[in-house]
A = this chain, B = another copy of it.
Amino acid sequence: MQMTPDLAKQDCSACPIRHRAVCARCEPDELTRLEEIKFYRTYEAGQPVAWAGDKMDFVASVVSGAATLTQTMEDGRRQMVGLLLPSDFVGRPGRSGASYDVVAVTDLVMCCFRKVPFEQMMATTPHVAERLLEMTLDELDAAREWMLVLGRKTAREKIASLLSIFARRDVLVGAAHTRSVEFDLPLTREAMADYLGLTLETVSRQMSALKRDGVITLKGKRGVLVPDLDLLMEEAGDDSDGGMLS
């Protein structure tokens, strides 16, 4: 959780309000104010960012790495309710504590803003509040999309749906109209199971099945090669194009 001075001045395109990429309407002095209250934190794989109920005095967005939001029942059953990948946002303006356990699953760099000045900024600059609302609506859509996965999809479809999420972040256009992708899974089988409402054994079995059927190829322990993204998305039972066109 130490500061990383070498990052302190970096111009981070994945900042909470994505001020370079999206908030083009921001005035220069607004950007300056954002830069002033910004700092970076790093976490190691497995390290907690916050436990449910803890006070969180900052909001942040992921620069690199991945983190998970999970909920746990008293008897130990766990459900991941959010997956934070680069550019995703954490922290609730107007709420004192974290609602869920936030844990780094790989080495993680986050771009943070102290909560109090950030909220002041929100209250005075409509752009920021609007951008935050837009991001929250996106999260809500993602959560609802996932409700369909959890409630109605088979184990195989669930795995394919999860792989699609990662695959769609790194699409390569191959020859002959097939889109192939290669990426590293940031999650263990257990974490995948927690996300999908399955057990790790079922996850493992279905991964093997998808491999056997040629939908994916496993490269070492973490690497996954998807020769045909369309085939994967068909396996996921997804009617949409996965947002590739938007």
Contacts and interface: CB of A to CB of B under 8 A. Distances in A.
Number of copies: 2
A147 B79 contact: yes
Contacts of A151: 79, 150, 196-197
Contacts of A28: none
A54 to B, nearest CB: 16
Contact of A133 (B74, B132, B141, B145): B132
Interface stretch (A7-15, A29-37, A89-97): A89-97
Q: Which of A95, A126, A137, A139 has the most chain B CB within a 10 Å cutoff?
A: A137
A143 B151 CA distance: 12
B152 A78 contact: yes
Interface residues of A, number: 43
A197 to B, nearest CB: 3
Contact of A129 (B69, B81, B126, B141): B126
A141 B99 contact: yes
A150 B124 CA distance: 39
Interface string A122-138: 11101001101110110
B136 A137 contact: yes
Interface string A185-225: 00000000000110000000000000000000000000000
A132 B94 CA distance: 12
Nearest to A147: B81
A152 B93 contact: no
A237 interface: yes
Nearest to A94: B134
A239 interface: yes
A23 interface: no
Interface of A: 69, 71, 73-75, 77-79, 81-82, 92-95, 99-100, 122-124, 126, 129-130, 132-134, 136-137, 139-141, 143-148, 150-152, 196-197, 237, 239
